[in-house]
């Protein structure tokens, strides 16, 4: 069942076999490169090497990378040279490029450069000039502002709207870099939830704080301020990390009075901007309580910032932390490096968006104003924490345009469906295996054929 729709619902019925295959082969793309970008959290799974902002163009039979986008491209015989590119702008930048209403600030054709705030997917530099991106990745689901921006950028196009499909989940690791008083690297940090809440609310400001002692290896002596390394850009990783903090650290009363949390830091807000989530400029202000901060744009940059800053603690996707050879903390005894092998089941609500946060800083959901069932949303409450698995995870999405896809429509549908395409998934080794940091999703009650039909009906 998806959002209360039974498998037999007319909106979810399978098309006849011939029609289904017809959709899959509809109108081969005239562009030889399918251009996308956005979230950095799933980028290691989508495109492999995250050391440069622009990944690809990818095609696995020439690059042999085993990534989602590279393996998807390999399955396409028409055009035989089809490749897929992905620019790591961050979720906020990706959604702004999709919206198309701020072309001087965010544009698909602008270069994908290693600036603090990338503004384009590099279409022109790849030999493509596009009116809109083919697809976008985002770990921060569509909200009211995103939808208004999209409407402003697509005036005069009948039926124009974004399409949003959950794609993968990822573990968000807490990484750190600290030398002990003998000059040796601290090799482990075993945090409990109370310590996580106190570190990121600024209640624990120094490494020698007695409240942190139980997390350190026995006999290790440390001293000095803690530097919080955080995402400076609009970030889905931040959205999901603070989704965990606002839930786990919130008031002890059950929702809606509280969050069912530990009551340690009750003023976190779930937001894609870290300074907003931690109350910079408001009271109480967790952000201004930190001993020191270091802003970085993109998960790879956060990892690099931690690696060169003694005494630092930050958050990033587990795959990026592993690639940067950083040490990461366990949380409640769970290790983020084990994440990936188990598929995460999710329930999807259609035609709903994030409308804000409640008095406890928890995300609120509301009607999008659309009735097409093409915006799929996993309630952030469903994965905000866990007592049986690693508790800090994100759900990532692939987004596209419902209209104006032209002769590329088949490829846009194909990319959005690729996380559920068994032929593609069988060749991917960057998602769905232990240690990858990224896992596949299963949309409760829906077969892959039904998901393909849903996408085919939404993308035109």
- What is the model's pLDDT at position 61? 79
- What is the model's pLDDT at position 29? 39
Contacts of 354 (CB under 8 A, 6+ apart): 141, 142, 143, 144, 363, 364, 365, 377, 380
Domains of the chain: 172-338 (3.40.190.10)
Q: Is the dihedral of CA 416, 421, 426, 431 positive or negative?
A: positive
- What is the model's pLDDT at position 325? 86
- What is the model's pLDDT at position 21? 28
What distance in Å separates the CA atoms of residue 250 and residue 267, rounded to the nearest whole number?
A: 7
Q: Using an 8 Å Cβ cutoff, are 3 and 53 in contact?
A: no
Tokens of 5: 């729709």
What distance in Å separates the CA atoms of residue 421 and residue 404, rounded to the nearest whole number?
A: 24
- What is the model's pLDDT at position 241? 98
Grouping H, G, I as helix, E, B as strand and the rest as coil, residue 417 is helix
- What is the model's pLDDT at position 63? 59
What distance in Å separates the CA atoms of residue 198 and residue 161, rounded to the nearest whole number?
A: 41
- Cis? peptide before 79, omega within 30° of 0: yes
* pTM score over 0.85: yes
Contacts of 234 (CB under 8 A, 6+ apart): 90, 91, 92, 93, 95, 96, 140, 272, 273
Grouping H, G, I as helix, E, B as strand and the rest as coil, residue 40 is coil
- Cis? peptide before 377, omega within 30° of 0: no
| Helical residues (DSSP H) of 339-421, grouped into ranges | 409-417
- What is the model's pLDDT at position 15? 27
Closest CA to 141 of 391, 368, 443, 448: 368
- What is the model's pLDDT at position 18? 28
| CA angle (88 as vertex; 85, 94 as ends), nearest 5 | 95
Q: List pLDDT tens digits, range 398-417.
A: 999 999 999 999 999 999 99
- What is the model's pLDDT at position 282? 67
Q: Using an 8 Å Cβ cutoff, are 120 and 114 in contact?
A: no
Q: Using an 8 Å Cβ cutoff, are 120 and 95 in contact?
A: no
Q: Using an 8 Å Cβ cutoff, are 57 and 33 in contact?
A: yes
- What is the model's pLDDT at position 278? 96
- What is the model's pLDDT at position 30? 56
What distance in Å separates the CA atoms of residue 438 and residue 299, rounded to the nearest whole number?
A: 14
What distance in Å separates the CA atoms of residue 228 and residue 156, rounded to the nearest whole number?
A: 45
What distance in Å separates the CA atoms of residue 131 and residue 133, rounded to the nearest whole number?
A: 7
| CA angle (385 as vertex; 253, 437 as ends), nearest 5 | 170
**Mean per-residue pLDDT pooled into runs of 10, the chain (460 residues):** 36 29 35 93 94 90 83 88 94 96 92 84 94 97 97 95 98 98 97 98 98 97 98 94 98 96 96 92 84 94 96 95 90 95 95 96 97 97 96 98 96 98 96 95 93 97
């Amino acid at each position: 069942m998806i959002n209360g729709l039974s498998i037999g619902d007319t909106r979810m019925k399978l098309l006849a076999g011939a029609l289904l295959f017809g959709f899959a082969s509809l109108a081969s793309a005239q562009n030889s490169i399918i251009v996308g970008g956005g979230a950095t959290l799933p980028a290691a799974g989508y495109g492999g090497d995250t050391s440069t902002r622009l990944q690809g163009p990818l095609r696995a039979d020439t690059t042999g990378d085993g990534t989602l986008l590279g393996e998807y491209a390999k399955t396409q015989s028409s055009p035989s040279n089809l490749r897929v590119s992905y620019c790591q702008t961050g979720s906020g930048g990706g959604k702004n490029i999709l919206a198309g209403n701020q072309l001087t600030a965010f544009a698909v054709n602008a270069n994908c450069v290693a600036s603090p705030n990338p503004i384009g997917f590099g279409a022109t530099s790849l030999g493509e000039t596009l009116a809109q991106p083919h697809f976008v990745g985002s770990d921060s689901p569509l909200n009211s502002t995103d939808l208004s921006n999209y409407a402003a950028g697509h005036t005069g196009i009948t039926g124009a709207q974004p399409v949003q499909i959950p794609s993968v989940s990822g573990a968000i690791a807490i990484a750190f870099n600290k030398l002990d008083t003998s000059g040796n690297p601290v090799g482990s940090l075993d945090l409990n939830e109370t310590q996580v809440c106190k570190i990121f609310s600024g209640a624990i400001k120094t490494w020698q704080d007695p409240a942190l002692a139980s997390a350190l290896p026995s006999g290790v002596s440390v001293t000095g301020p803690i530097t919080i390394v955080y995402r400076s850009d609009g970030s889905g990783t931040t959205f999901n990390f603070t989704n965990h903090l606002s839930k786990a650290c919130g008031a002890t009363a059950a929702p809606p009075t509280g969050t069912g949390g530990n009551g340690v830091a009750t003023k976190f807000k779930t937001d894609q901007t870290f300074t907003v989530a931690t109350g910079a400029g408001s009271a109480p202000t967790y952000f201004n309580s930190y001993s020191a901060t270091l802003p970085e744009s993109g998960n790879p940059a956060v990892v690099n910032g931690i690696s060169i800053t003694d005494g630092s603690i930050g958050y990033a996707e587990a795959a990026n932390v592993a690639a940067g050879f950083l040490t990461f903390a366990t949380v409640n005894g769970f290790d983020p490096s084990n994440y990936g092998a188990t598929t995460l089941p999710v329930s999807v609500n259609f035609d709903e968006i994030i409308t804000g946060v409640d008095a406890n800083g928890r995300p609120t959901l509301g009607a999008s104003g659309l009735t097409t069932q093409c915006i799929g949303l996993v309630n952030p409450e469903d994965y905000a924490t866990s007592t049986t698995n690693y508790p800090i995870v994100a759900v990532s999405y692939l987004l596209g345009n419902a209209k104006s896809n032209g002769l590329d429509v088949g490829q846009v549908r194909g990319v959005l469906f690729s996380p559920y395409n068994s032929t593609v998934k069988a060749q991917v080794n960057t998602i769905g295996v232990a240690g990858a940091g990224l896992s596949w999703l299963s949309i409760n009650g829906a077969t892959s054929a039904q998901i393909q039909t849903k996408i085919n009906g939404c993308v035109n």
